[in-house]
Structure 1
Amino acid sequence: MIETSARVVSAESGVVRVEPATESGCGGCKSRSSCGVSGLGKYFSSTRSAIEIRCDVPVAIGEELQLSMSEGDLFKAGLLAYLLPSVMALVGAGIATTLGGGDVGAVLGAVAGFCIAFLLARWTGWAPTLSAHKTNHSTEGVTP
């Protein structure tokens, strides 16, 4: 599991808006903004605004939650966001080239393949699942 802390900004009817509670990254070096190690830390970078997540536990504004995501979900999201468009762009360029499109055709085929991959990713409707639970040092003292 990949985990990070987040602070509740607003809460209503099972949906909470959270923002990063601490600075992202592992703190091991000065390149936290470009580090590939912190998956959720990158999602909660300091330039990112608060996000909405589902939370079945009653929480109060200002309370700290522990957000977690499985490594498998992060891996699938990476494949869907990076690998699929790259492969489809290469396939589109290859098809256009074999059909005799030349360089311009290859570029157009790559763009078409990328767009098709983007649409496929959107049509799947899949999104990684974040689970939220209260931290042990929350203000109400409730354990997950």
Structure 2
Amino acid sequence: MVKEMATVVAVDGDKAWVETTRQSSCGSCESSSGCGTATFSKVLGNRPFRVQVENPLHAKIGEQVIIAISENSLMKGAVLLYMIPLLALFLFALIGQWVMANWFGSVQEWVTVVAGAAGAYAVVLWMKSKGWFEQQEMVPVITEVKAQYFVTMD
């Protein structure tokens, strides 16, 4: 299980909205000064990331919780979100190039780029229409509610 600390910001029945802070390991890396990932991380900053999760423990707004998702679900999500659209981009770019070469006798690079982008976009829309991104197993779950201690001054 991949786990992350989060704060509950809204509750809606058996679901909750939680916020986590984007984290980067760039601070501990020796080559962070010349790295594109470090630059990208600095641009994004540490803004909170909000996600909807299952709330079987009935956590309340303001509570610190641990959210988790299985490694298998995380890998499946990565394949759905990155690999399939990337393969579609290459496939449709090749089809666009082949059509231009065989039907029109010349290859226009912009047609290849547009065909690839349109194909990737169409595949993502098709996957979304089939509900591939909303599978129950790919939703993080609150697995632990951290105790909060309040200090009162009498």
Answer whether TM exceeds 0.5 for this pair.
yes
Q: Could you list the runs of 5+ residues in structure 2 that have no partner in the other structure?
A: 39-44, 102-106, 150-154
Instruction: Confirm whether residue 24 of structure 1 aligns to residue 23 of structure 2.
Output: yes
Q: 1:26 and 1:100 mapped to 2: Cα distance? A: 45
Pairs aligned (count): 127
Letter in 1 for 2:121: C
Contact 2:22/2:47 (CA < 8 Å) preserved in 1? no
Structure 1: 5+ residue stretches without partners: 36-44
2:128 is aligned with 1:118: no
Q: CA deviation at 1:112?
A: 2.1
Pair 1:109-2:115 in alignment: yes
Q: Say if 1:29 and 1:94 are closer, same or farther in 2 by CA, change over 3 A.
A: same
Q: What residue number does 1:51 align with? A: 51
Distance in 2, matches of 1:23 and 1:93, equals 34
Partner of 1:75: 75
What amino acid does structure 2 have at the position aligned with 1:120?
W
Correspondence for 2:95: 95
What is the Cα deviation at residue 4 of structure 1? 0.5
**C-alpha contact 1:81 1:121 (8 A) present in aligned 2:** no
Q: What one-letter code is carried by the residue in structure 2 that aligns with 1:123?
A: S
Cα offsets for 1:10-66 (capped at 9, x unmatched):
33422222112x6735687266xx48xxxxxxxxx8323433322122223322211
Distance 1:106 1:50 in 2: 36
Q: Identity percentage over the alignment? A: 21
Return the TM-score normalized by structure 2.
Answer: 0.67
SS at structure 1 position matched to 2:48? coil
Rg comparison, structure with higher value: 2
Which of 143, 147, 153 is residue 133 of structure 1 equivalent to?
143
| CA distance in structure 1 between the partners assigned to 2:88 and 2:112 by the alignment | 12
CA RMSD of aligned residues (A): 2.8
Q: Bigger shift: 83-92 or 56-65?
A: 56-65
Inter-CA distance 26–116: structure 2 relative to 1 (3 Å threshold): same
Report the 3-state secondary structure (helix = DSSP H, G, I; strand = E; otherwise coil) of the residue aligned with 2:132: coil
Q: Secondary structure in 2 aligned to 1:116?
A: helix
- Give, as a single letter, the amino acid of the residue that structure 1 aligns with 2:5: S
Structure 2 CA distance, aligned partners of 1:63 and 1:12?
15
In structure 2, distance between residues paired with 1:89 and 1:52: 29
Deviation at 1:91, TM superposition (A): 0.9
